[in-house]
Amino acid sequence: MSMQTLDVQNLIIGFGKAGKTLAADLARHGQSVILAEASPHMYGGTCINVGCIPSKKLLTEGARRAPCVAADAMDAEAVFHAAMQAKDALIPKLRAANFAKLDQMAGVRVITARARFQDEHTVILEGEGQSCAVRAERIFINTGTLPVAPDIPGVNHPHIHDSTGALSLAQRPQRLLIVGGGYIGLEFAFMYRAFGSEVTVLEAGATFLPREDRDIAGEMQRILQSRGIRLVTDAAVERFEPGDGQASAVTAVTSQGRFSADAVLLAVGRRPNTGGLALERAGIAVNERGFIQVDEQLRAKPHIWAMGDVAGSPQFTYISLDDWRIVRDQLLGDGQRCTSDRAPFPTAVFTEPPLAHIGLTETAARRSGRAITLHTLAAEAIPQAKVLGQTDGLLKAVTDAGTGEILGVTLLCAQAHELINLFKMAIDHRIPARAIKNQIFTHPTMAEALNDLFANA
């Protein structure tokens, strides 16, 4: 029996931010689109299902409910389950809305099936009880990334989880062990600590947060300690062993000793989600880490694009959205937009307080040989931080000593994830530090602290 062949102008593989936005955009311009997604649990992509939205929902619920946990440890389990229920009530609604938006749109057909290339213009889609071949004029790969599973003996223990699993634990761990002291690991550390878990973070490297300046990393380490989160550096995990079944479920044997816990989170990075795509049949090249090789306009071949994490783009939803802008500009615009246009861009880690950054750190600026001026401000000096009861942290900026040009900003303070966006515009439009120094901000706000941050500009 021959396989059905579907002809379409555009085939999008993966329901992530770039893919779903492109599908709607092309359909609105009268083009035909098939969007293939392997899992019905991933409509909308990583962000809304197993990434940004569920993690931030739990972080918010944890912060909101933490006083209850602190007041009565007996309530910790109930608080944890209530937070999980709030998260579980939100995510299916978002997933369904994402699916309906495209499925009901004229010109778009959503097919739930795994994709593999047959040749550079043909992709086989295989779903439950059905399969078809899709011949497309243009193909867009938007399959994202998956958590890395390190090759460590005993890693398949049922109480060892990746980030996806840690977002849906059935029981609150009394003791949580996090392997990986990077940004994902830190978000989970603050989250579970707010739920009353004892949290230990194991960092394999000797340097905590190596990409940050030492004063920023030091302040974060102080905050971790003040929250009762234990950080152990130089702790390479050698193997996992079963716990004693009563006091613990699993034990990590490391270069710094043995650490037992009810649950372990592996937060050691992410890998490209390309398994089963048979990219080689389409002549699509990957780099040494397995990410699809693309040019500055995200082309892997003249008619094939990769977007988002799978293309090696920085792993943020808003960068995936910008990938859509780049591709859209080639298809529907003047074709000038490219990946180099967006540097620098802001980042935010949702610790407590958040850590946000854009541009050069002090270390990178000094390494460049430029003459610089440093601007720092302790968060405890900000009136609004005192109003909020969130006085931990440090604000820091680097400017050109001659021109006052803002080279980089790091904010470890309340509402840093919002404030940092101001500096994307300031850097893009070359607004000097003295303009921020003399800007009129409302009071009391965290933003008005920027007057004081740049007081010596």
- For tokens 């299916």, the residue is 92
Residue 121 is given by DSSP the state S
Q: What are phi and psi of 25, to 5 degrees?
A: -65, -45
Is residue 121 flagged as an active site residue? no
Evaluate whether 143 touches 16 at the Cβ level (below 8 Å): yes
Q: CA 401, 406, 408: angle at the middle one, nearest 5?
A: 110
Evaluate whether 237 touches 204 at the Cβ level (below 8 Å): yes
Catalytic residue among 121, 157, 417, 443: 443
Partners of 123 in beta bridges: 117, 134
Alpha helices by DSSP H, 227-382: 317-332, 362-367
- For tokens 């209530």, the residue is 82
| Cis peptide leading into residue 242 (ω within 30°) | no
How many whole angstroms separate alpha carbon 147 and alpha carbon 95? 21
- For tokens 């799978």, the residue is 310
Q: List the structure tokens of 14.
A: 């993966």
Evaluate whether 119 touches 280 at the Cβ level (below 8 Å): no
Q: Render 148-180 in DSSP notation, one character per residue.
A: -----TTTT-TTEE-HHHHTT-SS--SEEEEE-
Closest CA to 313 of 278, 289, 332: 289
How many whole angstroms separate alpha carbon 209 and alpha carbon 229? 15
Burial class (CB in 10 A: 0-12, 13-18, 19+), 277: buried
Q: List the structure tokens of 136.
A: 């497309």
Partners of 146 in beta bridges: 271
Evaluate whether 252 touches 177 at the Cβ level (below 8 Å): yes
Q: Which residues contact 213 (CB under 8 A, 6 or more apart)?
A: 361, 362, 363, 396, 410
Q: Which residues contact 349 (CB under 8 A, 6 or more apart)?
A: 183, 186, 187, 355, 356
Q: CA 322, 345, 395: angle at the middle one, nearest 5?
A: 150
Which residues are annotated as catalytic?
Answer: 443
